[in-house]
């Protein structure tokens, strides 16, 4: 395992992780949370981190910190540099797979303030899983050794909303491939309708859909083996369109 551009060891303690996070640009946020001696990186400084991250919890912490920067409008944008582009041209070591909705308002790289080579992103409407989607995720785990898989749903999802409408109206199939989305999301919508009132049913369906997708991925033999071996963690999350916050479940 090498490092991207300098010799910055991976942290082994929470304190180390926080300091490491500060070097990644979260210093001011972390300081605000009470870690008084963390470093604060000057705006525009190029931060470093290990080239390959294998610890699922470390990867999740990077996403949390990136989303905190995004919501606070303190993005780094450091991973879009020419130097970074030339680095990743030699090979990729993304630290998280993100299965996200295709919705234009939820681009994972922006939401988590990450750049070239950081995230292995698979997107379909409603994050619906089909064989090529699962194959892409399996590739990321088995061949790229990505330690974290995030299923990212979001507030006001159109695919979930359309499924809710189809269920409520009993609409006939459209005869298009959109039907495949509706059928995939339908179980979550039906559970949500039984559990939530009209005002909250869409939000509940979004959460239920993410839960179903996490369960389906966790049941995949290849992914389940990676989880058992400690090489992978699978988590669900939802994104708030208004404040930009990602809530991990």
Cβ proximity to Zn ion: between 55 and 103 the closer is 103
Smallest distance from Zn ion to CB 216, Å: 17
Cβ proximity to Zn ion: between 108 and 147 the closer is 108
For residue 91 the two structure tokens come to 């090979």
Cβ proximity to Zn ion: between 101 and 223 the closer is 101
List residues binding Zn ion (CB under 5 A): 101, 103, 157
Nearest CA among 130, 128, 133, 105 for reference residue 206: 128
Smallest distance from Zn ion to CB 139, Å: 23
- What residues pair up with 235 in beta bridges, in sequence order? 150
Smallest distance from Zn ion to CB 206, Å: 8
Q: Residue 114 and residue 128: Cα distance in Å, rounded? A: 23
Cβ proximity to Zn ion: between 40 and 167 the closer is 167
CB 123 within 8 A of CB 100: yes
Smallest distance from Zn ion to CB 240, Å: 13
Cβ proximity to Zn ion: between 17 and 152 the closer is 152
Smallest distance from Zn ion to CB 110, Å: 15
> Sheet containing 148-154: which strands, arranged edge to edge?
119-124, 96-101, 148-154, 233-239, 246-248
For residue 157 the two structure tokens come to 């999802």
58 burial type by CB count under 10 A (0-12 exposed, 13-18 middle, 19+ buried): buried
């Amino acid at each position: 395992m090498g490092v991207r551009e300098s010799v910055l060891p991976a942290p082994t303690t929470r304190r180390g992780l926080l300091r490491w996070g500060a070097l990644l640009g979260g210093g001011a946020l972390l300081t605000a949370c009470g870690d008084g001696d963390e470093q604060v990186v000057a705006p525009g400084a190029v931060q470093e981190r290990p080239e390959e991250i294998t610890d699922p919890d470390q990867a999740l912490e990077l996403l949390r910190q990136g989303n905190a920067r995004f919501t606070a409008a303190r993005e780094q944008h450091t991973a879009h540099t020419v130097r970074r582009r030339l680095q990743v041209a030699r090979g990729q070591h993304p630290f998280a797979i993100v299965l996200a909705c295709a919705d234009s308002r939820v681009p994972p790289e922006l939401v988590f303030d990450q750049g070239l080579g950081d995230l292995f992103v698979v997107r379909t409407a409603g994050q619906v899983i089909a064989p090529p989607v699962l194959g892409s995720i399996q590739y990321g785990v088995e061949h790229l050794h990505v330690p974290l898989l995030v299923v990212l749903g979001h507030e006001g999802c159109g695919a979930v909303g359309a499924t809710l409408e189809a269920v409520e109206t009993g609409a006939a199939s459209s005869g298009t491939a959109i039907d495949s989305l509706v059928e995939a999301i339908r179980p979550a919508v039906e559970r949500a309708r039984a559990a939530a009132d009209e005002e909250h049913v869409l939000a509940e369906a979004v959460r239920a859909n993410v839960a179903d997708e996490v369960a389906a991925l966790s049941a995949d033999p290849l992914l389940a083996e990676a989880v058992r071996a400690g090489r992978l963690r699978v988590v669900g999350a939802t994104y708030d369109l208004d404040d930009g916050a990602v809530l991990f479940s």
